[in-house]
Structure 1
Amino acid sequence: MQYRTDYHVSLLADAPAVLTIGRWQLHYLAFSAHADDKRAPVLLLGGAFQSFRSFAAEAAELLSEHPVILLDLPSQGCNTQLAAELRLEDLADLIAAFVEEMQLPAVQPIGLSYGSALAALFAVRHPQHCARLLLAGITAFGRPGARRLLEESLELLDEGQLDAFAQGALTGLLNPLHSEATGVSPLFRKVLLRQLQRLGPTEIERYRQNSRRLLDFSGFAQHPQCPTLVLAGEHDHFTQPWEHAQFAAACAQADCALIHGADHLAQFERRAACAGLYAPFLRGAEQPLSSPGATRLSRGQLEHLERRQEVRHAPRQRRARLRHLSGAEWSVEMAELGFFGCLLHGDLPAELPARGWLLLADELPALPLLPLRRDHNGLACIFTHTDALASAALAEARHAQPLPTAACA
């Protein structure tokens, strides 16, 4: 590997180098203080639509101690090559092929969101190539509610409902209940919403392919054996803290830290808190029990973290109606109501359609929802948040008496 030694943030917008492996193109930029650096490089793997420019601060910080490689696999980041036939496991194997082709020593991946699944699978499948591993926004997608919302997003795209898709995706990525804590401004939300609303045909197809890979992934049969650090935004509803903690518990040598005042985009919302953890981790130092803006979980906490982030509320008016787009309608009682879901009681048919539902409740606009599961407790549903006005009204209605917590959707 020949590294560039002239790093400047403006270079992250340059055309990347391209390595062709079989039919596949891997885009990368590589920087270091020395052109022929033999030290273990940090390998940055971002979310599906994150560009190299997203890592401007991280690259500058890391280069003081490590070579840095930014890598976009097919359909990831700014690499527009479509690859519907590739599974997550295949993409992880492409990372290993990149390491081998470039004759790199064992690398230290930092995987964020979609990139976290790729980095973790790479560590499991090719342990000889992975020295240390840092993950944030774990996307294993074993939680039923997360899977249903991802499936619904694909249905909306197939129907051409780009505005509804964008509203739902935005609420998943940026938890609106904690926007003051995370510091996410209305302007940033608006800009991200517009980006999602303006996805072109190729970007939509990439989203489909990346989402289908996540949905088709059956889970981790094995977990990383190398030293691992897992970072979880305390308000992340998309990939929840307890999921990060359980993943860490299954690893051989893992620590998990909660990043205060952050949700799914912890690395960007709380840069200093994250850097205060990953910098010592990458140099092999022991993780502190606490650091500014973060708290490390003890091993005993990892498998016992609360699974419901949001306490459900008892609405003032429990009577409501559940309406299907076919026109059928049933009276229900809202046993629990929260921003992300609800629990309903009622004399409902044994078989319910999977989509096309609205909850009609006094003092609230019609709320689009999806049935999730049905048992002796009632019908658990999740809100899709595809209607911005309905979501805002629901957020305002969250101030009633809370109910005891229970398992999350």
Structure 2
Amino acid sequence: MRYRTDFAPQHLADAPCIVQLGPWPLHYQAFSQHSDDRREPVLMLGGAFQSFRSFGAEVQELLPRHPVILLDLPSQGGNLQLAPELSLEQLADLIAAFAEELQLPPLMPIGLSYGSALAALFAVRHPQRCARLLLAGITAFGRPGARRMLEEGLDLLAEGQVLRFAQGALTGLINPLRLEETGISLTFRRALLRQMQRLSPQDVERYLQNSRRLLDFPGFGLHPTCPTLVLAGEYDHFTQPWEHAGFAAACADADCALIHNGDHLAQFEQREACASFYRPFLQGTALPLASPGATRLARNRLDHLERRQEPRVAPLNRRGRLLHVDGGEWTVEVSELGFFGGLLQADLPAELPPRGWRLQAGELPPLDILPLRRDGDRLALVFPHTDAEASEALAAQVVQADSRAVAYA
């Protein structure tokens, strides 16, 4: 491996180097302070909507201490090669083949969101090639609500409803109830929304393939044995803190740090808080128990984090109507209402279609819902948030109801 020694953020937009492994081109850029650097390199594996350009600040932060490689596997980032036949496990094996082809020392992968599953599988399947592992935004997708939301996004894209897909995806990535805490600007949210609304047909196909891989993934039968650090955004609803902590608990040698005032994009929202843990981790020195903006969770707490991430309160007006696109209509009682989901009670048919439902509750505009599970006459549901106006109205009511509940607690 010959590293570039002239790093500047604008270079991340340069044409990548390419390694051809059979039919699969792998795109990469590699930087260090020394062109012939034999130290263990950091390997960046990004999420669904991230390119090399997303990581300019991270590369600058890491370069004084580590060589850094940015890698796009087929269908990732700037690598436009479609690969519907490849599973997550096979993509993880391509990382190992990449390391072998370039005769790299053991790697230190940083896996973010979609990249976290790939990085973790690489560590499990090729432990001799993985020195340390850092994960954020764990995407094992064992939680039914998360799977249901991802499936709905695929259905919307298949129907050509890109605008509705983009609105729902934005709400998954950026928790709109916690914008004051996370500090995400309106400008950034609008830019991310536009990016997702302007997906090309090829971009849509890549997203569909990557998402299907996640949904087809049966879960981790084995977990990494190398030193592992898991960073969890405090307000991440898409991949929740308890899921991060549970993954860390299953690893042989793992720590989990809670990043305060962060959500699914915590590494970009709270850069210094994240760096205060990954700096010592990647250098193999002791992690702090806490630092400004982050707290390391005790090992005996990892399996005991609260799973309910948002308040669910009974609305003042519990009466509502459940409507289906095919014409059915039922009176329901809204037992619990939150921003991300709720609980209804009603005499509903035994078999419910998976899509096409709307809830009319109180003064709120009609809300698209996805049935999640049944328990007698109780129906748990999630909101896909594909309508911005309805989502804003629901958020306002939930915040107001939560304030009342706190005031009278």
Mapping 1:142-181, distance limit 5 Å: 142-181=142-181
Separation of aligned partners in 1, 2:44 and 2:366:
42
TM-score normalized by structure 2? 0.97
**1:254 partner letter:** A
Separation of aligned partners in 1, 2:5 and 2:352:
61
**Alignment of 1:208 onto 2:196:** no
What per-residue deviation string (whole Å, max 9, x for no partner) do you get for residues 140-167 of structure 1? 0000000001000011011111111011
| TM-superposed deviation, 1:379 | 0.4
| TM-superposed deviation, 1:194 | 1.0
State the secondary structure of the residue aligned to 1:322.
strand
**2:8 partner letter:** H
**Alignment of 1:228 onto 2:228:** yes
In structure 2, the residue matched to 1:84 is 84
Contact 1:368 1:383 in 2 (8 A): yes
**Alignment of 1:378 onto 2:360:** no
**2:314 partner letter:** A
What per-residue deviation string (whole Å, max 9, x for no partner) do you get for residues 339-383 of structure 1? 001100011111110000000112100000000000147100000
In structure 2, the residue matched to 1:407 is none
Separation of aligned partners in 2, 1:308 and 1:403:
19
Separation of aligned partners in 2, 1:308 and 1:48:
26
State the secondary structure of the residue aligned to 2:50.
coil
State the secondary structure of the residue aligned to 2:299.
coil
Q: Flag the 1:338–1:387 CA change in 2: closer, same or farther, 3 A.
A: same
Following superposition, which runs of at least 4 residues in structure 1 exceed 4 angstroms of deviation?
Answer: 401-404
Separation of aligned partners in 2, 1:157 and 1:403:
39
In structure 2, the residue matched to 1:133 is 133
What per-residue deviation string (whole Å, max 9, x for no partner) do you get for residues 225-244 of structure 1? 00000000000000000000
Contact 1:48 1:75 in 2 (8 A): no
| TM-superposed deviation, 1:283 | 0.3
Separation of aligned partners in 2, 1:23 and 1:227:
33
In structure 2, the residue matched to 1:400 is 401
Separation of aligned partners in 2, 1:260 and 1:372:
29
Separation of aligned partners in 2, 1:117 and 1:207:
15
Contact 2:344 2:379 in 1 (8 A): yes
Separation of aligned partners in 2, 1:181 and 1:171:
16
In structure 1, the residue matched to 2:388 is 388
Q: Flag the 1:223–1:403 CA change in 2: closer, same or farther, 3 A.
A: farther
Mapping 1:254-273, distance limit 5 Å: 254-273=254-273
**Alignment of 1:31 onto 2:34:** no
Q: Flag the 1:37–1:166 CA change in 2: closer, same or farther, 3 A.
A: same
Contact 1:314 1:403 in 2 (8 A): no
| TM-superposed deviation, 1:10 | 1.2
Contact 1:2 1:35 in 2 (8 A): yes
In structure 2, the residue matched to 1:320 is 320
TM-score normalized by structure 1? 0.97
State the secondary structure of the residue aligned to 2:100.
helix
What per-residue deviation string (whole Å, max 9, x for no partner) do you get for residues 290-310 of structure 1? 011101100111000000100
| TM-superposed deviation, 1:274 | 0.7
| TM-superposed deviation, 1:35 | 1.0
User: Where does structure 2 lack aligned partners over 5 or more consecutive residues?
Assistant: none
What per-residue deviation string (whole Å, max 9, x for no partner) do you get for residues 269-290 of structure 1? 0111111110100000111110
In structure 1, the residue matched to 2:100 is 100
What per-residue deviation string (whole Å, max 9, x for no partner) do you get for residues 291-336 of structure 1? 1110110011100000010010110100000000001000000000
**2:90 partner letter:** D
User: Percent identity at matched positions?
Assistant: 71
| TM-superposed deviation, 1:53 | 1.1
**1:4 partner letter:** R
| TM-superposed deviation, 1:33 | 1.1
In structure 2, the residue matched to 1:299 is 299
**Alignment of 1:52 onto 2:55:** no
**1:358 partner letter:** R
Separation of aligned partners in 1, 2:199 and 2:47:
16
Contact 1:323 1:359 in 2 (8 A): yes
| TM-superposed deviation, 1:105 | 0.6
Separation of aligned partners in 1, 2:403 and 2:247:
30
User: Where does structure 1 lack aligned partners over 5 or more consecutive residues?
Assistant: 405-409
**2:189 partner letter:** R
What per-residue deviation string (whole Å, max 9, x for no partner) do you get for residues 180-212 of structure 1? 101111111111111111111000000000000
Separation of aligned partners in 2, 1:9 and 1:157:
33
State the secondary structure of the residue aligned to 2:244.
helix
| TM-superposed deviation, 1:49 | 2.3
**1:49 partner letter:** F
| TM-superposed deviation, 1:89 | 0.2
State the secondary structure of the residue aligned to 1:397.
helix
Contact 2:347 2:377 in 1 (8 A): no
Contact 2:235 2:264 in 1 (8 A): yes
**1:131 partner letter:** A
Separation of aligned partners in 2, 1:391 and 1:112:
27
Contact 1:314 1:401 in 2 (8 A): no
